[in-house]
Chains A and B, each alone.
Chain A
Amino acid sequence: DIVVIQSPESLAVSLGERVTINCKSSQSALYSFNNKNYLAWYQQKPGQPPKLLIYWASSRESGVPDRFSGSGSGTDFTLTISSLQAEDVAVYYCQQYLTPPFTFGGGTKVEIK
């Protein structure tokens, strides 16, 4: 099974500052036949189901603000929030969906400093 590790577990950042969350998979999430990375990022706020932010590692879901971006390939991925807003306080998860079980990372809690 592919193990997905996120870091850090939590971080506190001032409003307007940059947030970087890392995700590392134990095996490559890149499918060589279509050159796509099967890695997604989600945002979850208390009492709500997860919300898809990024898929194919770097494709932003419709309606997601452009301050959210994803990058990386293979085994190392990053979610960046370019300028933290108050409404971005949440837990963020990455997930590989290349090979079942489609494992999630442990989550990163983002708070305002």
Chain B
Amino acid sequence: EVQLLESGGGLVQPGGSLKISCAASGFTFSSYAMSWVRQAPGKGLEWLSVISGSGGSTHYADSVKGRFTISRDTSKNTLYLQMNSLRGEDTAIYYCSFDMRHWGQGTFVTVSS
């Protein structure tokens, strides 16, 4: 059974950093591009970033480019999102997903003083 389990969310001050993770199981992790998508409270879905199966190619939304870094560790079957220079508008549920049909339950990040 495919499982995606996000973790690492929490409260962080504006300007701070946070690294969230997505532990994957039930499929060949290295075969799939992985994405991060977020949803601010009461708002729509916002695509953030994608990383190729090999990790050699990445893309970002303009809203996070230069602040967020997506990475993956195939040995740990884990996807990461390093978030720096966090702002209030980054407050959201952060989902990892792949193949469009598989999503985690999300981890909540709150940016507030």
- A-side binding surface: helix, strand, loop or mixed? loop
Q: Are B61 and A101 in contact (CB under 8 A)?
A: yes
Q: Is A16 an interface residue (CB 8 A)?
A: no
Chain A nearest Cβ from B87, distance in angstroms: 18
- Chain B residues contacting A103 (CB-CB under 8 Å) are 47
Stretch at the interface among A25-33, A69-77, A80-88, A92-100: A92-100
Q: Is A66 an interface residue (CB 8 A)?
A: no
Q: Are B103 and A49 in contact (CB under 8 A)?
A: yes
Across chains A and B, the number of contacting residue pairs, with CB separation under 8 Å, is 46
Q: Give the residue name and chain of the B residue nearest to A95 (CB).
A: B47
Q: Are B35 and A50 in contact (CB under 8 A)?
A: no
Q: What is the bound-complex CA distance between A91 and B97, given in angstroms?
A: 18
Task: Point out the residue from A40, A93, A100, A102 that lies within 8 Å of B44, measured CB to CB.
Answer: A93
Given contacts A93-B45, A102-B50, contact A50 B62 (CB under 8 A): no
Task: Point out the residue from B37, B62, B95 that lies within 8 Å of A1, measured CB to CB.
Answer: B62
- Chain B residues contacting A93 (CB-CB under 8 Å) are 44-45
Q: Are A107 and B61 in contact (CB under 8 A)?
A: no
Q: Are B45 and A50 in contact (CB under 8 A)?
A: yes
Q: Are B47 and A49 in contact (CB under 8 A)?
A: no
- Chain A residues contacting B101 (CB-CB under 8 Å) are 52, 61
B47, B97, B104: which has the most chain A beta carbons within 10 Å? Answer: B47
A44-B45, A91-B44, A100-B50 given; name 5 further pairs at CB < 8 Å.
A55-B100, A93-B44, A93-B45, A104-B44, A104-B45
Instruction: Please name 22 pairs of A and B residues whose Cβ atoms are closer than 8 Å in the assembled complex, sorted by A.
Output: A1-B62, A42-B45, A49-B103, A50-B37, A50-B45, A50-B103, A52-B100, A52-B101, A91-B44, A93-B45, A95-B100, A101-B47, A101-B60, A101-B61, A101-B62, A102-B35, A102-B47, A102-B50, A104-B37, A104-B44, A104-B45, A107-B44
